[in-house]
A and B are shown apart, each in its own frame.
Chain A
């Protein structure tokens, strides 16, 4: 079984630019989550999809962040325009059910905004 894959693994952009992160969940997993870890802080929940629907987006920091999951397969997270404080590692996770222990994480995308 292929794991959760994220692309790119690293991204360096300038403040004001746009970046789109992609996550391919494990095939058959309806639940897809985005998390973010800013340097020195905890991994924080951003949002949760069930298939193509946003179930919970309470963790999204502001309207510069837009997540989509068209067709209920892969998901994208766009940051536009990027700010310095958006730097961090963005993790995607997927699961078949809602039990937290069944979360399968990707290796993350390290975003650096300069």
Chain B
């Protein structure tokens, strides 16, 4: 089975940097995804990590350490529109179906 842990809620100030952590305990590993979901909307793909290290994409970066079962999503220069739920999802070997964590609700305030 898979156990994925994320903080329930985080708050941050506009213009700041925030790091959202995700730890997982899985029987094997075949990739980790981050999705963003605004209230009442569909989850949208942000990033994918399968090898250790940092993947940067504009204001968003995602880091993975497979040996530690750990990932984080780094958001820079926060904007109000970044207020959303951020979902960590892991794929087990032999599977292609992402298993989601409960998500972290990020609130950005002025």
- A contacts, CB < 8 Å to B: 3-4, 33, 35, 40-45, 48, 56, 91, 98-108
Size class of the B contact interface (CB-based, 8 Å): 20 to 34
Given contacts A41-B102, A100-B91, contact A48 B43 (CB under 8 A): no
Q: Given the known A-B contacts A43-B87, A56-B97, A101-B48, are A4 and B102 also in contact in the complex, defined by CB atoms under 8 Å?
A: no
Task: List residues 75-99 of chain B with CB under 8 A from any CB of chain A.
Answer: 87, 89, 91, 96-99
Give B5 Cβ to nearest chain A Cβ, in Å: 11
Is the contact region of chain B dominated by helix, strand, or loop, or is it mixed? loop
Chain B: minimal CB distance from A24 (Å): 13
B63 within 8 A of A: no
Q: A100-B89, A100-B91 are in contact. Are A43 and B43 (CB under 8 A)?
A: yes
Instruction: Point out the residues of chain B lying under 8 angstroms from A43, CB to CB.
Output: 43, 87, 100, 103
> Given A42-B4, A42-B100, A42-B103, A101–B33 Cβ distance below 8 Å?
yes
Q: Can you pick out 11 interface pairs between chain A and chain B where the beta carbons lie within 8 Å of each other? A: A3-B42, A42-B103, A44-B100, A45-B97, A98-B96, A100-B48, A101-B45, A102-B45, A105-B44, A106-B42, A107-B42
Q: Which of A3, A48, A100 contacts B33 (CB 8 A)?
A: A100
Number of A-B contacts (CB under 8 A): 49
A105 touches B96 (CB 8 A): no
**Extra contacts besides A44-B100, A45-B97 (12): CB < 8 Å:** A33-B97, A35-B100, A41-B102, A42-B4, A42-B100, A43-B100, A43-B103, A101-B33, A105-B43, A105-B44, A106-B42, A107-B40
Closest residue to B30 on the A side, CB-wise? A100
Which listed residue, B42, B48, B96, B98, touches A91 by the CB 8 Å rule? B42
- State the CA gap A33–B95 with chains docked (Å): 14
